[in-house]
Chains A and B, each alone.
Chain A
């Protein structure tokens, strides 16, 4: 909580916002709150473009509040800290992911699972405690409660670290939770985009054998040579699917388009686990027989708590895991969104906020 007794946001800020469901972003002036005793204020240097940003600017999920300043893969440099801030100081390299608030008292919060807190506050497009709407990282400055800020080690370049704050934690957390992080296990990654490419890197760093499962044969070279996957399976090829039946300990499914689950369940060994991270528009069909006959399970996951997010960043720094990014200027953002819609990016756009977000007079 900020400790402010009045709804004052004294600090001028600027960014790019969508103002309606067309989703077109344009320069936007706004204000942030002052730096409260537990807050960290930082100058934004880079911000990753997450596919959720695209859904939100177009109000695909029906929850968007306009004007909407997206961005929840934010990295930057601390400019001011509140009097009770302990972990961070001015000049530190920091990051903020998908959340900026939670209740701190429920079971989930007490167990470092703020991401599942019923009162969790999203980094953008959500109502904050002071009644105002949160604005995300497509902006020059942010003020965030220390609890929701992570430190970024020196050896992780900021631009390549930004996507870790959403995509990275989104794949790291379930690999750990569902026990797919043990050396020697065979893990499949379905979909090779922002989430998928990081899933390959994290899973390899954890010592598993990784197979990328994709509908596009053209991604094979990338997957094997650039990302370090051990093998590649074209899911439209029946022969390849058949040969791989019952060979996977786990599969991380990052695809959000509608797709059949039966082939993926068939790929699992008995007691195998299918983790779903993408959220398709309509329900999927779940054939019960393969679950039952092989004692298999299908589970979901959503980002991760703050403790685990810091752990993930430190793990990435230790193992040299960086996102593969295309760094863009702020004014390229609308074109980037069009390309993102078509999956035309390897594998995350990152906006060079520090150098290209121009102040608005």
Chain B
């Protein structure tokens, strides 16, 4: 929260927004707060296109407040820093992920788990304490409290690194929390999209054996040859699924479409863990007996706190992990959204904001 005398003053900003449930984006003028004592202002260079952006654009979760400027995989360069800002200087390569505020005092915030704070402020489609709306990274600049700004390591490319700010932390945090990082153990990654492909890379860096579980046979070659997975399991082949019963220690389920859990639970060993990070908007069908008979668990996880997000970026920089992206111009965003709805992207669109967004 900024505490300057200029609190309440706004400055011009420009981006692309959707104004109704069609989700169609178009140029949009709006305003942001002036840079306060705790704030960092970013000139936005790149912004990843997360599937959540699409869900919110079309109000699929029912809580969209239009007009909405999406985008929470934001990277850029610091152009201003408030007088209390110690971690960043003008010119630093910086990023902003899924949240831009929290209460800072609750148990979760005190434990570096700002992402679970009941008063979390999301980067877009949320409200600041002063009542103004938050707008995301499909825009030219953003002003963010330093606590919620990440430092982008030098050897991490800005464009391919942007998706790490949501996809990367989502898989990294879930794997660490549920103890799915023991070298030599067998991890299944269900779904090979934005989350899934980053999960394969991060899991390999942890020394896990990785099997990609997918219903699309044409992803097999990609998974193994390009992403480095150890094997591929075709979930639509009952015989293959049967032979995989009880073979995996963990499964990271990145699939957001509704899907049955029983086949995945069967593939787990006793004491196996299924962690769901895709956000299906309908409840999943959960047969209880495999959980009981095998002491298995189903857990969820949602991005990560700021400390862990920085840790994840540093980990990815060390292991040369970045997303596989398709760079697009801002005026191609609506076509990109249509393709994203059909999962027609390998594996994240990233908007070249710096070079293509202009009034």
B-binding residues in A (CB < 8 A):
108, 113, 116, 177, 246, 261-262, 270-271, 276-280, 283-302
Contact = CB atoms under 8 A, between A and B. Distances in A.
Contacts of A290: 300
Interface string B227-268: 000000000000000000000000000000000011000000
Contact of A285 (B276, B277, B286): B286
A294 B288 contact: no
B91 interface: no
A190 B261 CA distance: 24
A276 B288 contact: yes
Interface of B: 108, 113, 116, 118, 177, 261-262, 270-271, 276-280, 283-302
A271 to B, nearest CB: 7
Given A283-B288, A286-B285, A302-B295, A292 B279 contact: yes
A295 B297 contact: no
Nearest to A276: B288
| Interface class of chain A by DSSP | mixed
Contacts of A302: 292-293, 295
Contact of A300 (B278, B279, B288, B301): B288
B287 A283 contact: yes
Contacts of A289: 279
B299 A293 contact: no
Given A295-B177, A302-B292, A288 B284 contact: yes
Nearest to A300: B291
| Interface class of chain B by DSSP | mixed
Nearest to A302: B292
Contact of A283 (B285, B296, B297, B300): B285
Nearest to A301: B295
Contact of B297 (A280, A293, A297): A297
A108 to B, nearest CB: 6
A276 B297 CA distance: 10
Contacts of B288: 276, 278-280, 283-284, 300
Contacts of A113: 270
B299 A296 contact: yes
A116 B294 contact: yes
B106 to A, nearest CB: 10
A27 B264 CA distance: 45
A294 B300 contact: yes
B295 A116 contact: yes
Given A288-B279, A299-B299, A300-B291, 5 more contacts: A289-B279, A291-B298, A291-B300, A297-B300, A298-B286
A297 B277 CA distance: 12
B284 A286 contact: yes
A343 B177 CA distance: 40
B214 to A, nearest CB: 19
Contacts of A271: 116
Given A270-B116, A299-B297, A300-B295, A292 B284 contact: no
Contacts of B298: 286, 291, 297-299
B302 A284 contact: no
Contacts of B300: 288, 290-297
Contact of A291 (B276, B293, B294, B295): B276
B285 A292 contact: no
